[in-house]
Amino acid sequence: MRITIKDLAEYCGVSSGTVDRALNNRPGIKLKTKQKVLEAAAKLNYRPDFTARSLVKGKTMTLGIVLFDLYNRTFAQLLNAVELKAKEYGYFIYVALTNKDPDNEKQCIEYLANHKVDGMILFTVHQGEEFEHYLESFSFPIITIFNFLSERWQYIGIHERGAMKDVALFIADKGYTKITYICPPLSFQGKRNIFTQEERLKGLEEGLSERGINHVKVIKQNDYLDVLDGLVFKDGDMAIVCSCDLYALEVMNHFKEKKIKIPEDVGLMGFDNIDVLKYISPKLTTVEYPVEEIGKMAVESLIYKIEDGKFNTYSPMSLDFKIIEGESI
């Protein structure tokens, strides 16, 4: 059986209060008593029971994070950064994966709440007043990432719209006049929270329209490769922009098969700058942004709120992004 504070007290012939003072560096204890207790603790292999401590302290030193999955490299990187940063502050991380399923997501949130996390990092597919009202029923702070909810919720991310606007200007200035945008998640428009995706599209359209291009062909289907088969690529005047690198890689593979040349026949751009791009040729032009930074900021912000009662102020969506020039456009 596990040794408790009571066992230690008995063993040392002191009270549990004294053991507590020794174990937790609290004042009001004779050095000698303290040493005796600490030695006994080491000898008997005592380990504090955090669940008991949590119960009295009302704090679990645990943060919950809700994500779609970890197949997406970006999320894995994010979680990695979150764990590291949290541990620095002595917090542990509960991961809860939703597979983008709204019901599943709610259940994850619910369970995390029951496990009494001190705070939550939330990447949600939900949106709307009802959901926000639901979130407000929780007594711990919540910070949203990637998908914005509303001003009522602390949010950390990059300026998605601005990034895509830059992309638009970048490709327009390269001389491309026909733009195709691939973003299957947009098919959930109005049904789920796809803030990030919508912002990117808006940015793209804004930027292009500044350059006099007022039409973007948007592909929202999951079988976007089939849709591409229906398009004609000549003169190299079309640029295909993908809402994330993974789609761009699929397109690349597909075009390789079809003997369509990048960038000669058609330009291609991704988004995310996932690390495997370094092994791919032609080098994919893409947008880099600091995922780890998002994770770290989320944790720091959350812990600050937990421990000091208020969110630290910073301009939201202020993180840097950068176009990484490859050879694909």
Beta-bridge mates of residue 272: 288
Residue 209 touches which member of its own copies, DNA, none, C-beta under 5-8 Å by kind: none
Helix/strand/coil for 269: strand
What's the distance, Cα to Cα, between the start and end of the chain in Å? 65
Shortest Cβ distance from residue 203 to its own copies (Å)? 26
Of 36, 50, 40, 49, the closest CA to residue 2 belongs to 49
Beta-bridge mates of residue 155: 144
Write out the two tokens for 171. 């490709």
Angle CA(83)–CA(111)–CA(79) in degrees, nearest 5? 20
Nearer to its own copies, 68 or 195 (CB): 68
Residue 28 touches which member of DNA, its own copies, none, C-beta under 5-8 Å by kind: DNA
Residue 17 touches which member of its own copies, DNA, none, C-beta under 5-8 Å by kind: DNA
Write out the two tokens for 159. 């300026």
Q: Per CB under 8 A, which of residues 199..228 are in contact with its own copies? A: none
Q: Which of 30, 35, 39, 48 binds its own copies (CB under 8 A)?
A: 48
CA distance 302 to 91: 11
Q: Which of 28, 32, 130, 137 binds its own copies (CB under 8 A)?
A: 137
Q: For residue 53, which phi and psi values (nearest 5 degrees)?
A: -60, -45
CA distance 53 to 294: 31
* Contact status: 280 vs its own copies (CB under 8 A): yes
* Contact status: 45 vs its own copies (CB under 8 A): yes
Q: For residue 237, which phi and psi values (nearest 5 degrees)?
A: -95, 0
Q: With contact defined as beta carbons under 8 Å apart, do 104 and 117 qualify?
A: no
Tell me how crowded residue 227 is: count the other CB atoms within 10 A of its CB.
Answer: 15
* Contact status: 87 vs its own copies (CB under 8 A): yes
Nearer to its own copies, 28 or 279 (CB): 279
Residue 260 touches which member of its own copies, DNA, none, C-beta under 5-8 Å by kind: none
Q: Which of 14, 41, 62, 303 binds its own copies (CB under 8 A)?
A: 62
Nearer to its own copies, 167 or 284 (CB): 284
Nearer to its own copies, 173 or 279 (CB): 279
295: region left, alpha or beta (phi > 0 left; psi from -120 to 50 alpha): alpha
Q: Which residues here bind DNA, judged by CB under 7 A?
A: 2, 4-6, 13-18, 20-21, 23-24, 27-30, 32-34, 46-49, 52-53, 55-58
Residue 20 touches which member of its own copies, DNA, none, C-beta under 5-8 Å by kind: DNA
Binding positions for its own copies, rule: CB under 8 A: 1-2, 45, 47-52, 54-55, 60, 62, 69-71, 73, 76-77, 79-80, 83-84, 87, 92-97, 108, 110-116, 137, 139, 249, 252-253, 256, 275-276, 278-281
